[in-house]
A and B are shown apart, each in its own frame.
Chain A
Amino acid sequence: MIKLVKVCKSFNGQKVLDNLDLEIEAQKITVIIGQSGGGKSVLLKHIIGLIKPDSGQIFVDGTDIVKLNDRMLNEVRKKFSMLFQDAALFDSMTVGENVAFPLKEHTRLSKKEIEEIVEAKLLQVGLTNVTHKMPSELSGGMRKRVGLARAIVLNPQIILFDEPTTGLDPLMSDAIDQLILKTQYDTRSTCVIISHDIASAFKIAHNIAMLYHGKIIQSGTPAELRSSNISIIKKFIEGTSA
């Protein structure tokens, strides 16, 4: 389970997270929604320790990761993987090497086994004949999917997705949603997904949390959010499903 307690973060005097509290259930899919520029990516990076909060605590399975030093954090991060908003592929490596990277680092699989897994994962995200291409030769949506393949290749305990379907066509979006659902179902992982796509959020989420002005103003099941009487949430849900 992941728990954030009174987390504050400012950049150059601009408050991005403001006494934020959030509990993320283990082995469930939690979707975080909120305005663009509202601090969703920043929030996600706090959960994996890439950004340290100015104050507050962040518990991952009971350990407060804010207090950990680099090496201990390195250990905790073995539970995690993350898809970055801009994919963050290694541009000096081919697509295949990118997806293989976590396997090479953290498993003792043979070259052949790794190759097979990489091909299978790329196929799952709808990519064929890209293994030997460089990331710079791909479209934005393709890069995103390579990033996704890299994020799920190790079956980690916790997966963080920063807008996995943004920039994809509706059919591909739906396919990726299905893939995330299936991956979560198969591996019983804890998934935290940032999404702008309210329709898909309601489809795949066990829980939804709304980030607004640096705080989680409501978090609960999709049904609970749908019947919310907070006006900004109503607007947010109607605005996009209309």
Chain B
Amino acid sequence: MIRFFEFTGKKFISIVEEFGKVMLLFLSAFLWMFRKPFRFRVIIKQMEFVGADSVSVILITGAFTGMVLALQTYYGFRMFGGESLVGATVTLSMTREIGPVFTALMVTGRAGSAMAAEIGTMRVTEQIDALYTMSVSPIQYLIMPRILAAALMLPILTIISDFIGIVGGYLVGVEFMKINSGIFMSKIIEFVDLADIFNGLIKSACFGLILSLIGCYKGFYTKGGAAGVGKATTQSVVYSSITILISDYFLTAAMF
């Protein structure tokens, strides 16, 4: 029993300690953002990597999520004659919840893991030390651009995902299930506020921050060669996903 408390106690302390280190990294990345040189080029490159290169993945996942949502709500709502609400339901789910969360999870798998792997490899092959010796802050050169790019690009990707998801829902609802197109659209306009979309985008910016910060953190403190890089990459995906889902609850509770 004492062992158990000792174990959980230690675990708890190490989590708190790690959280502190992540926050310190964030703070120093934030401060380096305002120091010269401003690294526009690296930032643009990262925005391209996190944003532009993720679009195709987001289009596919977003479209099918919207389609399956429409299908499920249609089957459910038909039981009490609520087919007309399918469009509004799909739109609300997409913009408030599924768009931001799925986009964040997809980008975690695609870009967050790559951040951990790339920075981790640079750590174990002394490239990060080399940056230090050249008086270039790796925080400013490697980490700040990634965090900034992810926080900026995630909302944009989320808008794309929201939009294509609604299009997918329309396709299934109106084209396949023969819901009247005018009703489908008018219910969306009736029930969906701009605030729904906007709050979803704020959430997605937070998720972008989380996934890039954890990816960079895991990479930056990688130890132990190729095996260490592998471990850092896996952990970054697992921790980011968990943190995104947990923070999603609290952000939602705070906002809606």
Where the two chains meet, the residues of A that have a C-beta atom closer than 8 Å to any C-beta of B are: 45, 48-50, 70, 74-75, 77-78, 80-82, 84, 86, 88-92, 101-102, 105-106
Cα–Cα, bound, A106→B136 (Å): 9
Report whether A101 and B127 are in contact in the complex, using a CB–CB cutoff of 8 Å: no
Nearest A residue to B141 by beta-carbon distance? A105
Report whether A75 and B133 are in contact in the complex, using a CB–CB cutoff of 8 Å: no
Where the two chains meet, the residues of B that have a C-beta atom closer than 8 Å to any C-beta of A are: 37, 118, 121-122, 125-127, 129-130, 132-137
Cα–Cα, bound, A49→B135 (Å): 11
> What are 14 pairs between A and B in contact, CB < 8 Å?
A45-B129, A48-B133, A74-B132, A77-B134, A78-B135, A80-B133, A84-B129, A84-B130, A88-B130, A89-B130, A102-B134, A105-B37, A105-B136, A106-B134
Cα–Cα, bound, A97→B125 (Å): 18
Q: Which of B37, B118, B127, B135 contacts A77 (CB 8 A)?
A: B135
Cα–Cα, bound, A88→B137 (Å): 16
Q: Which of B118, B122, B127, B135 contacts A75 (CB 8 A)?
A: B135
> With contacts A50-B132, A77-B132 known, is A70 near B126, CB below 8 A?
no
> With contacts A90-B127, A91-B125 known, is A81 near B133, CB below 8 A?
yes
Report whether A91 and B133 are in contact in the complex, using a CB–CB cutoff of 8 Å: no
Cα–Cα, bound, A75→B132 (Å): 10
> With contacts A88-B126, A91-B125, A91-B127 known, is A82 near B133, CB below 8 A?
yes
Q: Which of B122, B126, B134 contacts A81 (CB 8 A)?
A: B134
Residues from chain B with Cβ under 8 Å of A90 in the complex: 122, 127, 130
Residues from chain B with Cβ under 8 Å of A49 in the complex: 132
Nearest A residue to B35 by beta-carbon distance? A71
Taking the closest CB of chain B, its distance from the CB of A28, in whole angstroms, is 21
Residues from chain B with Cβ under 8 Å of A48 in the complex: 132-133
Residues from chain B with Cβ under 8 Å of A50 in the complex: 129, 132-133
Report whether A77 and B137 are in contact in the complex, using a CB–CB cutoff of 8 Å: no
Nearest B residue to A48 by beta-carbon distance? B133
Cα–Cα, bound, A84→B125 (Å): 10
Nearest A residue to B132 by beta-carbon distance? A50
Taking the closest CB of chain A, its distance from the CB of B37, in whole angstroms, is 8
Count chain B CB atoms within 10 A of each CB in A80, A84, A88, A102 and give the residue with the most: A88
Residues from chain B with Cβ under 8 Å of A86 in the complex: 125-126
Residues from chain A with Cβ under 8 Å of B37 in the complex: 105
Cα–Cα, bound, A80→B135 (Å): 9
Cα–Cα, bound, A101→B129 (Å): 14
Cα–Cα, bound, A93→B202 (Å): 35
Taking the closest CB of chain A, its distance from the CB of B20, in whole angstroms, is 17
Report whether B134 and A88 are in contact in the complex, using a CB–CB cutoff of 8 Å: no
Report whether A105 and B129 are in contact in the complex, using a CB–CB cutoff of 8 Å: no
Report whether A88 and B127 are in contact in the complex, using a CB–CB cutoff of 8 Å: yes
Count chain A CB atoms within 10 A of each CB in B118, B127, B129, B130 and give the residue with the most: B130
Cα–Cα, bound, A86→B130 (Å): 11
Cα–Cα, bound, A92→B118 (Å): 9
Nearest B residue to A151 by beta-carbon distance? B133
Taking the closest CB of chain B, its distance from the CB of A46, in whole angstroms, is 12
Q: A90-B127, A106-B135 are in contact. List 18 more A-B contacts (CB 8 A).
A: A45-B129, A50-B129, A50-B133, A75-B135, A77-B134, A77-B135, A78-B135, A81-B133, A82-B133, A84-B129, A86-B126, A88-B125, A88-B129, A89-B130, A90-B122, A91-B127, A92-B118, A105-B135
